[in-house]
Structure 1
Amino acid sequence: MEKRVIELFAGVGGFRVGLEKLNTGWNFVYANQWEPGKKSQYAYDCYVRHFGDSKNITNIDINKVNKSNIPDADLLVGGFPCQDYSVASTNAKGIVGKKGVLWWDIRDTLEAKKPSFVLLENVDRLLSSPGKKQRGRDFGMILYTLNQLGYGVQWRVFNAADYGFPQRRRRVFIFAYRQDTKYYKEISQLAEKNKIHEIFTDKSVYNYSDSLPIKDELNKQKVGSIDGFEDIVDFSDHFSFHFEHTGVLLDKDIYTASYEADYHGENMVLDDIVQDSVDDESLYLDTKDGRLSKFEYLKGSKKIPRTDANGYNYTYSEGGMAFPDPLDRPARTMLTSEHSVNRSTHVIKDKSTGRLRLITPLEAERIQTFPDNWTEGMPNSARYFMMGNALVCDLVSEIGKGIDSIISNEQ
């Protein structure tokens, strides 16, 4: 099997950085990156700058791309936006997404190109979205449509810091595989022997996350099904399920459980990646009037009296945060608002001066395990935004090792 890759919602190329770092023959044949409503396409420009010829790197709305014209591939990857996955039935258009969300472009690409494997990334709340009213519907819709296209699915929520990386970032990775692959057949055989547990924990089984081990004991084990619905609209209207942190969909059966990481390697912390000396005075909190006191308030605990729309009085409470961020721990989850005066923004004590400052764009790249100065050339505000939107590249590398093993077994 060849190792041709399609990358959708490519950003600045985190999936590609992670897989190409393995040097195991991954060949990216197509990528799409487009930021709607933006005159400057910084992410696309960064992608082209690092990966060369833009012939197979498109910068247009993916909804307007003719999916049949995308090159054939063996793996599709992408970190797609988490939105509303519900559908509706209309007389004119048949079944459509209510908000035209981007998941359906992934679905259409899979239908057109039929890659053997799929690796997707999203925020962990996808598993419970849209919340109490119909918990798990959005992730269920993804499983339902992948099943319709002839794929089995595994998923797992990773906290990157649990495996030694310098950021406490929880994201769900979804690995899908066509039902005609050897891997699907092996997983199905385990299920038939009532050995679902081994899919997640047995190191002798080819596993897409084999290099990211978990403890043998699984918790909160549940079973469910995507069967019994008239069509996708009926599914959208009525499906609900409590998905746990890892699981598998085989045919129409759901097996899910929670787990604990079983990592015994080295752990990276902020102190390992922050720069020894930073000359940019704009990053220091004591150079702008009021900024230090604003951060002290935002990071501190507070109780604020409020009144809701119905006139009900209540108290909004918020716990305090470590201030500054401790250098002997991994970074917190980095958001697109990094560098703004915001509760989630990192503030550290500079190693050389002891003064409080924001992290640099280079440090933001290191938190996501990108090569240094990967986003150099765009405005600093854009550099922070790109890293807040990105993924932990080295985590992709570790997952890629498992997919390498799976593909080698397909030959």
Structure 2
Amino acid sequence: MKRRQMLQGLTGLGGLACAGLWSSSVLAESKNKQARAQIQSAVCEAGQPSQTAFTLYTRGVGTNILHIASSQNSLALVIPKGVRGKGRNMRLLDLDALPEVDTLIVCPLHDHYDHTANLGGLRGGLLNPGSNHAMLCGTKKVLRRKGADLYYRHEIAGAQSKLETSIPGISITLEFYRQGERGESHAPHWGAGKNCSVSNRHCGMRLPVRSVEAYALLAHFRVETADGPQEFTLFANDAASGFVAGNLPDALPVCDLALVAVADAHLAYGYPEELLEKLAPAEVRWTDWEGYFWDPMHALKTNEAPKTGGPAIMPLGAVEDLEGQGCFVRHGHVESFAGRPASGGAAVAEPEDAEPEAAPEDVEAEAAPEDVEAEPET
């Protein structure tokens, strides 16, 4: 009898626990719907490419491409992110709608598999077939990924890394800053974010020590145009970090556009407020906010405008904190930006002939590499 009563008691407790979990799940889904609705009201209005030198394209889930046009040349700077899953990555990017360029620079800012899955396809889809000017900037792990051998390669290492180069009509300075120490390079992906503090800047389920390093990018361009030389400075990161603002130098150039990742922002203390205070950008675009496994195929259908799709990977409160500071970019976004008149200095020079660190053999541009098994996301 006592045993039966004990089992009945345990069953009752189990039922209460299940009911509690169900109630929490319903509440969480309700708040998630509110967060999506809030984002929907703050999605950036997509425009059309104009004659300005700087145009932003957003593709798939979180891939951003800055197209730069001079009077002599064209360049695309790509901050990539893929959708996990065999056979979908290149289809979702839908690069056929984008202009081809003479020079391509691809910068995976951290080396999880989903940020480096499309290296061959990006080269094949964006670079003019007659050009071999493709540069890949990444950590040592990125430079070993499938498709990396199709590029000249620049390794990002240490607390800070810098690349200066030029092509006819465009000078380029790329500065990479480590977002945090290994294992703290970006915020976790799971947690309520209730116990973040100045002494506990990342809260939630901690990243394992073996986790990848993540970097933020400051990219400065000086471009020769028909209206004279122009300058443009871009900040980009693709993961929330409570340390990134402190790792940037105190003296920063004028920031024209900040592409700021807001996924899991609630798990990084002071983010993105401290970052925006330091950058003081003229324009802010929130990126990388959609659920990692969302498949935006409906946004690629003919005659159908892109729509906000999968769940936001940030709670309602975090979405509300961003209100009025910028807008959310999504697949299909196109926006042109005006540069600033260049401040003195000589005109952009032709690059000197130099032997690249690791020149790829001339190859016919691939449509896309075969998918490989995804590494576990951390």
The structure showing larger relative contact order (alpha-carbon pairs under 8 Å, at least 6 residues apart) is: 2
TM-score normalised according to structure 2 size: 0.30
